Structure formats: C-alpha cells, structure tokens
Amino acid sequence: MASTRAIAQEAEGQPLLGNPDLPQPAGQRMRWAIVGLGTFGVGQVIPGFDGARHSRITAFVSGNPEKARELGERYGVSRLYNYDNFDRIADDDEIDCVYNVLPVGLHAEYTIRALDAGKHVLCEKPMASTSAECEAMIAAAKRNNRTLGVAYRVHFEPNNVHVLDRVRNGDLGAMRFISADHGFNANPDFPPHKWRLDKVLGGGGSMYDIGVYGLNTSLMMLPDDTPVAVSAYDSTPAGDPRFTEVEGALDWRVRMASGITVQGSSSYCWNPYVSRQRYFGSDGSIEMNPATTYYDNRINAEIGGAARAYTAGNAASQFAAQVDGFSQAARKGEAHRTPGEMGLRDIRLIEAMYASAAAGGQIVEV
C-alpha cells in the first residue's frame, strides 16, 4: 500500500497525457453574440454551441423581440439587442465575438459595424454581395485590430478534413480534376428560400448561396494551386416565375495555375437536393455524396484498385469545431483558418463567373 501511495504522490502535478483539448470553464470561454435568428441560426448555429469547448453564447440580436426572448429563456441568454440598438454592443464587455447569420445583402453592414464596435466577427458564407464590400470588411478588421473569418464550416467537418488529409498525403497521386455539383429546388413560399430569390438580399444568385460550397471546398483541396481563369454559362427554365431576379442555374469552370481544372454547377431548380464533390488523381479518386451537408456526409474512395465506402466522423461536430476554432484564433490574435481574404477570393471568382456568363461563356482571367 505504501508503494502505491508513493507512486501516486510522484504523479501529482504531471501533465495530462496527450494534452487533450479539455473544455474551458464557462467563465473563461469566448463570449458570442448571434446576429440573425433565422432558420439556419436557430436550427444549426445555436445548437452547435452545445458541443463547443471554448465558446458560449451571451447575446442575441434580432428584429423579432418575441423570438429573441423565447430563445433567451431556452438558452439562458439575457443580453438581447435589436437592429436599432445594435451598436450598443460596443459597451458590452460580455461580448467578444459576433456570428453574423443575416442574409447576404446585410453581411457587409453588420460585420463592419460589429468590427467598429471592437468585436471579432465570424461572417456566414458567402462573405458579401461584392468584392468591394469584402475589401471594406477586411479593412474594418485591420482598422480595429480584430479577427475576421468567413463561416466555411466544411474546413472543420471531419469527413472533408479526412479527404483533405488523404489528398495532402498523396493517396490519390497528383490531382488531375475536381468536379462539384450543389443545388436544390427553391420554394418561394418557404421563407428561408424566398430571400435567396431576391437579388439584393441573396447576394446575386445560386452561386453565392449554394454553389460557393463547391467552389470553396474544391479550392480547399488544392492549397498550393491558384485560380487563373474562369468561364461560366447560366440557364433558367423558360417562364419560371421564381427567376425574375436571379438565374436558375450556373455551370462554371476554373482553370488552375497547375494546368488542371475545377468544374462545377449550382442551381435553384434541381430536385432532389444535390451536394456532391469528386476528386480525381493519377492514382485514385474520391467521391463525397453528400459532401457538405449538416449531418450526413459520406466518402466513396477508389484507390489502388480497392473501393471503400465509409464515414470519418460525425458531420454535426463541424459547428462546434468552427466556433471554437474562431474563438481560439481571436483569443491569440491569429488569423482564422478561413479568413476574410479567402472570402474575398471566392467572391472575386464568383463575380468573374457571372461576368463570363453575361458574355456568353467568355473566358475571364482572374
């Protein structure tokens, strides 16, 4: 017994093996305000904080006071703001970070206002409606010495991260081609779809909302490559009343500096919902189908003559991982894994795609 006690005494004060990422006490976590309590914010973002280790919600911002109060009671959040008194968050020491979950057309305004209020900001994708707005958001972050990120959650989703690791490790050999297809059938009577068909609120079309997943995820798999040119064609079902302001679908292609291409499509008129990524290399290929959903992403690999279908982790964990990644970056004063500059890059590419489509598919250098 004495020898057992001696061993235990010698172990006192030793570090935890493996240095696990233990949850921080609530009082030490970065404190977040959620701006925009729509379907995505309420259904995905807010519940995602339940699994967070370094982040907690301390405030809600909404134009619907009844909804804000109800959610505040449900999640123990007492700080409630609206869009008229939003700038008062500057005086609230219980807010460190802001998650901007508003429609795209409002991203730039409320991101800049939050940065000017001295808060770090994670802005939902796409970053903004125009590259000029993105540049203004980045300038505001630098002016206020705050961290700015774009919520490209796929960079934190375990199945996509696993595929990225396989690409980096050379399991597919040299990358040869990537394709990406993302779309759904927009229902104008469903509020979360209705604003997407409004060009001002939705940013400008399907590529801004659903197609950006394919573009950003594809480029994630090519970290050492650079886009040099794009081309695109748009298409809209004749007489479809949904598409008076935005196109029905966009087919696009990105030429990379390495000589390979990334090809994709985005749509508001497909049924059923499509979320598919395909990666082709000299030694194998991987298809993810679904690829970028909230809860159910799957991997189909054909490498070395062997085929395997599997999952590499719980897709739902991406929401907690994303906010924790941002919290840690903001606390350390470091760039987020998906910074504002990445969002600007993607919007510039999307703008070039629409310019190409308007010119009948003409190649646009970027």
Where along the chain do its domains lie? Answer: 27-153, 154-315+338-365
Residue 337 · residue 329 · CB < 8 Å: yes
Indicate whether 252 pLDDT > 60.
yes
For residue 212, what pLDDT band results from cuts at 50, 70 and 90? very high
Residues with catalytic function:
125, 213
Q: What is the mean pLDDT of the chain?
A: 94
- For the chain, state the CA radius of gyration: 22
Indicate whether 15 pLDDT > 60.
no
- pTM (predicted TM-score): 0.93
Chain centroid to CA 352: how far? 21
Indicate whether 12 pLDDT > 60.
no
Please report the sign of the dihedral spanned by the C-alpha atoms of residue 317, residue 205, residue 182, residue 364. negative
Measured distance CA(117)–CA(93) in Å, rounded: 11
Percent of the chain clearing pLDDT 90 (strictly above):
93
Q: Is 173 left (phi over 0), alpha (psi -120 to 50) or beta?
A: left
Residue type, 175: M
Which three-class secondary structure string do you get for 190-236?
Answer: CHHHHHHHCHHHHCCCHHHHHHHHHHHHHHHCCCCCCEEEEEEEEEC
Fold entry, domain 27-153: Rossmann fold (3.40.50)
For residue 23, what pLDDT band results from cuts at 50, 70 and 90? confident
Fold entry, domain 154-315+338-365: Dihydrodipicolinate Reductase; domain 2 (3.30.360)
Q: What is the pLDDT of residue 2?
A: 47
